[in-house]
Amino acid sequence: MALVSGLAVAGYYGTSHLRAEKPAETPAALTPVYVTLAKEGRIYDSVEALGTANSTESVNITANVSDLLREIRFADGQHVKKDDVIAVLEQRELLAQLAAARARLEQENRELARLEGLLRDKAVPRQDYDQRLTSLEITKREVEEIEARIAYRTITAPFDGVVGVRMISVGALVQPGQVITTLDDISSIKLDFTVPSAYLPSLKPGVAIEAESDALSGLVFRGQVESVNTRVDPVTRAVLVRAVLPNADGQLKPGLLLRVRLIKNERSGIILPEESILQRQKNHYVLVVGEDGDKVEERQVTVGARLPGRVEITKGVDAGERVIVRGLNRVRAGQAVNVAETVPGVPEWGADAAPAAPQADAPAGTKEP
């Protein structure tokens, strides 16, 4: 009887000892990690610069003569077509002169027709006919002169565009060269910027660019290089480049300062947050969480281009795989983990980077690396 009790006690303590050595893992006891999905996106090499937006065509609307301003035929910011009348100067005296000149021209035509009949009948000398013909030509030139003087006082748009703010009021005396308003063709924008001459081999018409402005945050404007200046500045060793940006909605305004990126070697590839990369000597690794049992797998990867906050992976990870971005120092290869959260991937290549992992406190019972 005593022997049986002793075996029972020994069996009891032996079993407890085994349970203490190998406690069952529950999801709550697994190390929590944050993961992101490997993202395949557009990648490119770039050259960055600062540029100034300019109108495709731009002109100050002024008068050629000195006279009173009688009419304003535009509103601030109005779209106008080529040859639309923008302003009219005083021209009543000229209109009266034009009417008189045209009346004389009609009289000269009638008199010349009468002399042609008499000349055929040899009733008048040829000299009288020639004098009347000369008088007719002089009257035609007088009409053309008056029409030109009236045209100087009728100010029209030289091209399609948008007028600016009115600078003068009706009744004011306009002087030659005085600005009445401005006219800009902003259907597309010319973007001028300088690039170090070291990048000349990459500069040619048709190269894609992207541009952003602090005044229009969140908007990326895409265009292409139109021309490269034939000269390099001998002081700065930079070359002037002109690109064209479509601007159908008119959001870009002349004079805006823009950050420019010249796009080279555009391709598609895997993009990961920079914080997901482990480096040991010259090698790079990531920790991938498998779908089967959430086990951690260490992968050696090949790194390509880099931007602040993100990195191109050319080999080692496929799109859609779960890569640990937070909690790297708490786990090791082969370990089972608890995926606490799947965080958003990195922003578009070339956009401002944002933290991939949330900044909230880690789950209870964990310690941040």
357-364: long-range pairs with CB below 8 Å, 24+:
357/34, 357/36, 357/273, 357/275, 357/325, 357/326, 358/34, 362/32, 362/327, 363/32
E-only strand ranges, 149-295: 154-156, 161-163, 173-174, 179-196, 208-212, 221-232, 238-246, 257-273, 278-280, 283-289
Quote the CA–CA distance of 240 and 232 in Å, as a whole number. 8
Rg of the chain taking only CA atoms, in angstroms:
41
pLDDT tens by residue, 169-206: 999 999 998 999 999 999 999 999 999 998 888 888 99
Quickly list H helices, 63-213.
Answer: 92-120, 126-152
Strand partners, 45: 264
Region(s) of the chain under CATH 1.10.287: 91-152
**pLDDT band at residue 292 under the 50/70/90 scheme:** low
Residues of the chain with CATH 2.40.30.170: 47-56+181-267
What pLDDT digit, counting tens, does each position of 205-221 carry? 999 899 999 999 879 99
Topology (CATH level 3) of domain 23-42+268-342? 2.40.420
Does residue 18 or residue 350 have the better pLDDT? Answer: 350
Residues carrying CATH 2.40.420.20, the chain: 23-42+268-342
Q: Identify whether the C-beta of residue 191 lies closer than 8 Å to the C-beta of residue 243.
A: yes
pLDDT band at residue 324 under the 50/70/90 scheme: confident
SS3 5: helix
| Interatomic CA distance for residues 146 and 92, integer angstroms | 12
The predicted-structure confidence for 210-267, as pLDDT tens digits, reads as follows 999 999 987 999 999 999 999 999 999 999 999 999 998 889 999 999 999 888 788 8
CA angle 341, 304, 217 (to 5 degrees): 65
| Residue, of 29 and 104, whose pLDDT is higher | 104
Q: In this predicted model, what pLDDT tens digit does every residue of 10-24 receive, in sequence order? A: 443 444 444 444 444
| 30 pLDDT above the threshold of 60 | yes
Q: Per-residue pLDDT tens for 157-167?
A: 999 999 999 99
Q: What is the CATH number of domain 91-152?
A: 1.10.287
Going by pLDDT thresholds of 50, 70 and 90, the confidence category of residue 351 is: low
Which stretch of 241-250, 271-280, 338-347 has the lowest confidence by average pLDDT?
338-347
Q: Which phi and psi (to 5°) does residue 178 adopt?
A: -70, 130
CB atoms within 10 A of CB 145: 14
The listed CATH number (3.40.50.720, 2.60.40.10, 2.40.30.170, 3.60.20.10) that belongs to domain 47-56+181-267: 2.40.30.170
Task: Read off the tokens for 89.
Answer: 């100067």
